[in-house]
Amino acid sequence: MTDSVTLNVIATVDSPYKEKFAIPRQPGIVSAAQGQLRLKGSANNIELVRGLEQFSHIWLLFVFHGTQAQGWKPLVRPPRLGGNKKLGVLATRSTFRPNPIGMSVVKLDRIEHQLTAHKESQVVLHISELDLLDGTPIVDIKPYVPYADIIEDAHGGYAHQQPSNDIHIIFTDASATIIEENLTSYPTLRLLIEQVLSQDPRPAYKQQSTDDKIYGMTLHEFNIQWQFDGGDIIKVLSVEVSKG
């Protein structure tokens, strides 16, 4: 036995979420979120995924690379509890963990075997319903097996049910126009924005208070500004192509 192990990155994620803010707190919540897994190194071999197309969903084991450098603490404040109560980190799905390993189940839409511009082979898994930051390193992929992975009488503690937010999303004329102009390249952009914002991505302590702050988030190549416009209405103020 040793005190450490070495893992190889077998794929990286291309995701619409370019920053940590506004990423859904669980997978499957935002169906319009689409991305790709690009196998790499010795794992970039079509033989590794032979038969995987039979499964509708897959498990991804990954590294929380966006928060890894910040370390971890034994107690954290889960957003589900309003950020007001501390629990042991291993009793939560916090990204700040003793080992920065996460797991996520995503929908497998299709597998593609591409030839790059340099005539190199590239295996791409097209996925959706993801909750992963762009560039996330993947260390393993496993098929989702319903009879084993669904436990009918499981108890979810403080997170037994998905939180419900009765939030309505409206768009200014200017933001709706930009979305319409980019419809060919990003046909689900409006739905993606609506689904992300309907989860209220603000910090938990903000969600129970009056808040007129203008927030920003980046999805795909777009900078999006939005604000609460009344108790249960979010107004998308602007959608602009990122200059970065």
Give ranges for CATH 3.30.2310.10 in the chain: 163-241
CATH class of domain segment(s) 11-149? mainly beta
Give CA torsion, residues 18, 22, 26, 31, to 10 deg. Answer: -80
Ordered per-residue pLDDT tens for the chain, 244 residues: 688 899 999 999 999 999 999 898 888 899 999 999 999 999 999 999 999 999 999 999 999 998 878 888 899 888 777 777 899 999 998 889 999 999 999 999 999 998 877 788 999 999 999 999 999 999 999 999 999 999 888 888 877 666 667 889 999 999 999 999 999 999 999 999 999 999 888 877 676 666 788 999 999 999 999 998 877 899 999 999 987 6
Strands (E), 81-143: 87-88, 101-115, 121-128, 137-143
Give ranges for CATH 2.40.30.70 in the chain: 11-149
Q: Provide the pairing of β-strand 137-143 with 57-63.
A: antiparallel
CATH class of domain segment(s) 163-241? alpha beta
Token reading at 33: 């979120």
Instruction: Report pTM.
Output: 0.89
Question: How far is residue 207 from each of residues 1, 23, 80, 132, 159, measured CA to CA in Å?
Answer: 46, 16, 11, 23, 17
